[in-house]
């Protein structure tokens, strides 16, 4: 840690120069990849929480969606007994609602903090969150605020959480009708990606997480997009090897961005990794979260890709490749809420309210990521709503060929 005092600033009327403090704190956490994390012969979790002097105090929170497909509660109890020298469960695992419901109920944070208090967890204890991205966001927020920070171990169980949200540094819940209005930037202690959980997913949840991989590939890595494009059929048919490769590559790109692109806690007015997200967040709210986050992201990607092409930044060929890949993966690229009140941008049910909310979330000027080529993103600070209306009109087309015909008509 480096601390500096700067006395070169102008003095105040009282004769005191302002003291400028600056310090750097390194963050480090490992993202592990395994299979059968809770099996007795897999020591990974026990090794991660292991303290040399005594067993670590551990509280486990489980996504209710897992209960229909596996027996995590029994497995957690058996695992803790097997590794009693390394860990002590302070209570039976807590179960919280699956999906966005976890982030929409403000009482859940209080319940988790009460459990942390009752379990006498401290900053050297561990909260283990097992579930999808929404549950990880909820538990991460509680862990980051209790005692100003308890060690959080994320065990993502969905594609989207393993390749994107679960490996990053953000936590949060929804409030005031807005996505992630309350939250923290708090890196986890560790992330344990267990591929075996992916086999329990519904087709919707399997597919939804792929959208985040498409997103990061489009703005950062053309070769990764080529890989997704070539394996789209295998991914859509639930090929496990193809999915494992996708999860690993996407997670690596996400982590590289956080570490090496200068603004891991989003102190500026830019969110480069949120390509397609201004519309996605708005669509989730407008559909009352009927859309999965990844499904909404796929629509947002399609919309911003079309817009990029219509304003002349992206070639028609690249645009068609993106749309064709999304469709081959099985995504639906239009919902009725996309086209409501487009002539009234301030209407509460207009998609365009999402632009204002996106800017308000960060402050400063509007900053939207668009494409100049596959693998190359560019930030813009103003948009033309007429071109967005045209892009939405194209997404209503019933087939890819109709979209292509429309692109010809609208191309600059």
Q: Please give, one letter per residue, the 3-state secondary structure of 59-83.
A: EEEEEHHHHHCCCHHHHHHHHHHHC
Name the residue with tokens 């909404």: 296
Question: Cα–Cα distance between 164 and 160 in angstroms, integer?
Answer: 6
Question: Are residues 142 and 88 part of one domain?
Answer: yes
Residues in Cβ contact with 303 at an 8 Å cutoff, skipping those fewer than 6 apart: 276, 279, 338, 388, 391, 392, 395
Query: Within a domain: residue 145?
Result: yes
Q: Are the CB atoms for 91 and 59 separated by under 8 Å? A: yes
Name the residue with tokens 């929409």: 104
pLDDT for position 409: 58
Q: How many domains does the chain have?
A: 2
- Kind and range of the H or E element at 388? helix 385-395
Question: Are residues 184 and 53 part of one domain?
Answer: yes
Question: Are residues 211 and 189 part of one domain?
Answer: no
Question: Cα–Cα distance between 199 and 201 in angstroms, integer?
Answer: 6
CATH of the domain at 242: 1.20.1090.10
Q: What are phi and psi of 363, to 5 degrees?
A: 80, 175
Q: Are the CB atoms for 314 and 372 separated by under 8 Å? A: yes
Q: Measuring CA to CA, which residue among 89, 244, 231 is closest to residue 163?
A: 244
Query: Within a domain: residue 309?
Result: yes
Question: Are residues 373 and 280 part of one domain?
Answer: yes
pTM of the model: 0.88
Question: Are residues 59 and 118 part of one domain?
Answer: yes
Q: Measuring CA to CA, which residue among 249, 229, 240 is closest to residue 327?
A: 229
Dump the DSSP string for 203-262.
HHHHHHTHHHHHHHHHHH-HHHHHHHHHTHHHHHTT-HHHHHHHHHHHHHHHHHHHHHSS
Q: What is the DSSP letter of 18?
A: P
Query: Within a domain: residue 21?
Result: no
Question: Are residues 360 and 261 part of one domain?
Answer: yes
pLDDT for position 271: 67
CATH of the domain at 171: 3.40.50.1970
Query: Within a domain: residue 70?
Result: yes
* Chosen domain end from 178, 200, 222: 200
Question: Are residues 247 and 184 part of one domain?
Answer: no
Query: Within a domain: residue 14?
Result: no
pLDDT for position 3: 47
Query: Within a domain: residue 22?
Result: no
Question: Are residues 230 and 159 part of one domain?
Answer: no
Dump the DSSP string for 99-111.
TTHHHH-THHHHH
Residues in Cβ contact with 226 at an 8 Å cutoff, skipping those fewer than 6 apart: none
The residue range of the domain holding 70 is: 30-200
Question: Are residues 306 and 189 part of one domain?
Answer: no
Query: Within a domain: residue 13?
Result: no
Q: What is the DSSP letter of 199?
A: G
* Chosen domain end from 200, 233, 262: 200
Query: Within a domain: residue 225?
Result: yes
Residues in Cβ contact with 31 at an 8 Å cutoff, skipping those fewer than 6 apart: 167, 190, 191, 193, 251, 255
Q: How many helices (H) and strands (E) does the chain have?
A: 17, 13
Residues of the chain with pLDDT under 70: 1-12, 268-272, 361-363, 398-412
Question: Are residues 166 and 214 part of one domain?
Answer: no
Name the residue with tokens 């990607």: 301
Question: Are residues 333 and 308 part of one domain?
Answer: yes
pLDDT for position 151: 97
Question: Cα–Cα distance between 344 and 353 in angstroms, integer?
Answer: 9
Distance from the first to the final alpha carbon of the chain = 53
Q: Are the CB atoms for 48 and 190 separated by under 8 Å? A: yes
* Chosen domain end from 141, 173, 200: 200
Question: Cα–Cα distance between 410 and 394 in angstroms, integer?
Answer: 9
pLDDT for position 4: 47
pLDDT for position 16: 85
Question: Are residues 210 and 169 part of one domain?
Answer: no
pLDDT for position 1: 42
Residues in Cβ contact with 174 at an 8 Å cutoff, skipping those fewer than 6 apart: 100, 103, 104, 180, 181, 182
């Amino acid at each position: 840690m480096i601390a500096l005092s700067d006395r070169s600033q102008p003095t105040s009327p009282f004769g005191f120069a302002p003291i400028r403090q600056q310090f750097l704190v390194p963050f480090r956490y490992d993202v592990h990849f395994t299979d059968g994390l809770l099996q007795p012969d897999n020591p990974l979790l026990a090794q991660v929480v292991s303290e040399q002097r005594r067993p670590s105090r551990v509280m486990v929170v489980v996504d209710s969606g897992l209960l229909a497909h596996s027996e995590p509660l029994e497995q957690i109890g058996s695992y803790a007994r097997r590794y009693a020298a390394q860990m002590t469960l302070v209570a039976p695992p807590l179960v919280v609602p699956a999906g966005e419901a976890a982030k929409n109920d403000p009482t859940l944070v209080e319940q988790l903090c009460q459990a942390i208090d009752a379990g006498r967890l401290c900053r050297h204890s561990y909260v283990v969150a097992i579930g999808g991205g929404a549950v990880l966001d909820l538990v991460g927020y509680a862990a980051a605020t209790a005692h100003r920070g308890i060690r959080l171990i994320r065990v993502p169980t969905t594609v989207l959480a393993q390749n994107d949200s679960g490996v990053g540094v953000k936590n949060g819940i929804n409030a005031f009708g807005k996505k992630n209005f309350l939250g923290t930037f708090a890196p986890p202690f560790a992330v344990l990606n267990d591929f075996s959980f992916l086999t329990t997913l519904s087709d919707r949840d399997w597919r939804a997480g792929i959208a985040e991989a498409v997103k990061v590939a489009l703005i950062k890595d053309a070769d990764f997009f080529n890989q997704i494009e070539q394996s789209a059929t295998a991914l859509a048919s639930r090929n496990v090897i193809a999915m494992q490769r996708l999860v690993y590559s996407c997670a690596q790109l996400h982590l590289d961005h956080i570490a090496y692109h200068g603004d891991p806690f989003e102190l500026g007015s830019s969110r480069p990794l949120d390509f397609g997200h201004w519309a996605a967040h708005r669509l989730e709210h407008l559909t009352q979260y009927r859309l999965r986050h990844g499904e909404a992201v796929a629509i947002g990607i399609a919309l911003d890709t079309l817009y990029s092409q219509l304003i002349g930044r992206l070639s028609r060929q690249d645009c068609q490749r993106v749309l064709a890949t999304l469709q081959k993966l099985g995504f639906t690229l239009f919902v009725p809420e996309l086209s409501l009140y487009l002539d009234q941008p301030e209407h509460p049910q207009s998609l365009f309210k999402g632009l204002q909310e996106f800017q308000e979330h960060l402050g400063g000027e509007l900053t939207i990521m668009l494409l100049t080529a596959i693998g190359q993103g560019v930030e813009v600070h103003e948009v033309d709503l007429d071109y967005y209306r045209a892009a939405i009109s194209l997404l209503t087309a019933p087939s890819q060929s109709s979209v292509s015909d429309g692109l010809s008509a609208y191309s600059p």
